[in-house]
């Protein structure tokens, strides 16, 4: 309903941001990543998700559309409500996605209120839903720095479409020197992997 709001940061505290948009003040619940990125009196664009709970509308805000989309996926997991999802997004996006894909319970349980069983449920339900478009890899075991690269993500998806198994994708991508991958197009990365497969 409200994709994003652009205005001046009127106030900010531990859990909320007040955004002045043409004289209308919006109260938005935000993770620590947003609080660290904005400054009172400066303009900001906040990507938002409107959630109705207890017959009351609540706005949740993030610095990117990807973070907002991850939030909307997280709240579908039993035991993770909007407040819990906001807390989880205080973990940097790439690190959070990698932890979910790799089943890294230790990272997820650093979030207040997230226990081992909840963390395991998040990994089980979301491992295959958070791919390259969310800053993660389409298969676990790819370095986060590479997984966050759009060209690498597109190449991995292309390799899957060509019939490569997740283990093959992981092995081939990891066997190519990082300096060769960085700056390469998805097509070039796919070509390098195809050569290694022969």
Question: How high is the pLDDT of residue 75?
Answer: 93
In the chain the beta strands, taken as DSSP E runs, fall at 4-12, 16-21, 24-29, 43-53, 56-62
The angle formed by the CA atoms of residues 174, 64 and 180, to the nearest 5 degrees, is 25
* d(C-alpha 125, C-alpha 128), whole Å: 8
Q: Collapsing DSSP states into helix, strand and coil, what is residue 180?
A: helix
For residue 123, give both structure tokens.
Answer: 């990994």
Strand partners, 46: 5
The gap from C-alpha 174 to its chain's centroid, in whole angstroms, comes to 22
Q: Collapsing DSSP states into helix, strand and coil, what is residue 148?
A: coil
Strand partners, 59: 28, 50
H/E run at residue 128: none
For residue 147, give both structure tokens.
Answer: 């997984």
* d(C-alpha 11, C-alpha 20), whole Å: 9
Residues of the chain with pLDDT under 50: 132-133, 137-138
Question: How high is the pLDDT of residue 61?
Answer: 95
Question: How high is the pLDDT of residue 158?
Answer: 80
Question: How high is the pLDDT of residue 135?
Answer: 52
DSSP letter assigned to residue 137: -
Question: How high is the pLDDT of residue 139?
Answer: 53
**What is the dihedral sign for C-alpha 38, 93, 67, 107?**
negative
**C-alpha to C-alpha distances, 76 to 54, 155, 187, nearest whole angstrom:** 17, 29, 35
């Amino acid at each position: 309903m409200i994709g994003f709001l652009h205005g001046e940061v009127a106030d900010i505290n531990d859990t909320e941001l007040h955004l002045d948009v043409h004289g209308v003040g919006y109260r938005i619940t935000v993770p620590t990543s947003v609080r660290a990125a904005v400054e009172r009196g400066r303009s900001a664009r906040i990507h938002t998700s409107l959630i109705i709970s207890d017959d009351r509308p609540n706005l949740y805000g993030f610095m990117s559309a990807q973070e907002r989309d991850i939030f909307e996926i997280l709240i579908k997991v039993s035991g993770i409500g909007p407040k819990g999802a906001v807390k989880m997004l205080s973990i940097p996006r790439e690190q959070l996605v990698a932890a979910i894909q790799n089943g890294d319970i230790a990272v997820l349980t650093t979030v207040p209120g997230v226990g081992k069983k909840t963390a395991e449920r998040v990994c089980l339900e979301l491992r295959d839903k958070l791919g390259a478009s969310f800053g993660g890899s389409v298969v676990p075991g790819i370095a986060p720095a590479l997984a966050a690269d759009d060209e690498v993500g597109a190449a991995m998806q292309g390799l899957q479409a060509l019939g490569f198994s997740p283990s093959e994708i992981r092995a081939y991508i990891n066997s190519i020197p990082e300096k060769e991958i960085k700056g390469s197009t998805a097509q070039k990365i796919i070509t390098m992997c195809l050569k290694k497969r022969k």
